[in-house]
Amino acid sequence: MDPRSGLLEYVVRNDAHTWIRRGGGLVAYGETARFTGTGPDRFTQAQEWWRRELAGAEVLDELGVPGSGLIAFGSFAFSKTSSHPSRLIVPEVVVGCSEGRSWLTYITDDAEAELSAASAEAALAAYLAAPDAGRSPSPGDSLGPGVLSEDQYKLAVAEGVKHVQAGELSKLVLARDVVAHLETPVATAQVLRELAVRYEDCWTYAVDGLIGSTPEMLIKVEDNTARARVLAGTLDRADAPEGDPGYADRVLAGSEKQLHEHQIAIDSLTETLEPFTSSMTSHSEPFVLQLPNVWHLASDVTAQLAPDDAGQVPTSLALVQALHPTAAVCGTPTTVAGALIRELEHLERGPYAGPVGWIDAGGNGEWGIALRGAVIEAPTRVRLYAGCGIVEGSQPAAELAETWSKFRPMTEALGLSR
pLDDT of residue 3: 39
pLDDT of residue 4: 38
Cα-Cα-Cα-Cα dihedral sign, residues 106, 355, 304, 283: positive
Collect all residues with Cβ–Cβ distance below 8 Å to 166 and sequence separation of at least 6: none
- Nearest C-alpha neighbor of 160 from the set 362, 347, 331: 331
Would you state the pLDDT for residue 26? 98
Q: What is the pLDDT of residue 2?
A: 43
pLDDT at 29: 98
3-state SS track over the chain: CCHHHCCHHHCCCCCCEEEEECCEEEEEECCCEEEEECCCCHHHHHHHHHHHHHHCCCCCCCCCCCCCCCEEEEECCCCCCCCCCEEEEECCEEEEEECCEEEEEECCCCCCCCCCHHHHHHHHHHHHCCCCCCCCCCCCCEEEECCCCHHHHHHHHHHHHHHHHCCCCCEEEEEEEEEEECCCCCCHHHHHHHHHHHCCCCEEEEECCEEEEECCEEEEEECCEEEEEEEEEEEEHHHCCCCCCCHHHHHHHCCHHHHHHHHHHHHHHHHHHHHHEEEEEECCCCEEEECCCEEEEEEEEEEEECCCCCCCCCCHHHHHHHHCCCCCCCEECHHHHHHHHHHHHCCCCCCCCCEEEEEECCCCEEEEECCCEEEEEECCEEEEEEEEEECCCCCHHHHHHHHHHHHHHHHHHHCCCC
Q: How far apart are CA 157 and CA 45, in angstroms?
A: 35
pLDDT in tens, the chain (418 residues): 343 348 999 999 999 999 999 989 999 999 999 999 999 999 999 999 999 999 999 888 989 999 999 999 999 999 999 999 999 999 999 999 998 899 999 999 887 777 778 888 999 999 999 899 999 999 999 999 999 999 999 999 999 999 999 999 999 999 999 999 999 999 999 999 999 999 999 999 999 999 999 999 999 999 899 999 988 778 888 878 887 878 888 888 788 888 888 888 888 889 999 999 999 998 778 888 888 888 888 899 999 999 988 888 999 999 999 999 998 899 999 999 999 999 999 999 999 999 999 999 999 999 999 999 999 999 999 999 999 999 998 999 999 999 999 999 999 999 998 7
**How many other CB atoms are found less than 10 A from the CB of residue 208?**
20
Give this prediction's pTM.
0.94
Residue 111's pLDDT is 73
Q: Give residue 241's pLDDT.
A: 84
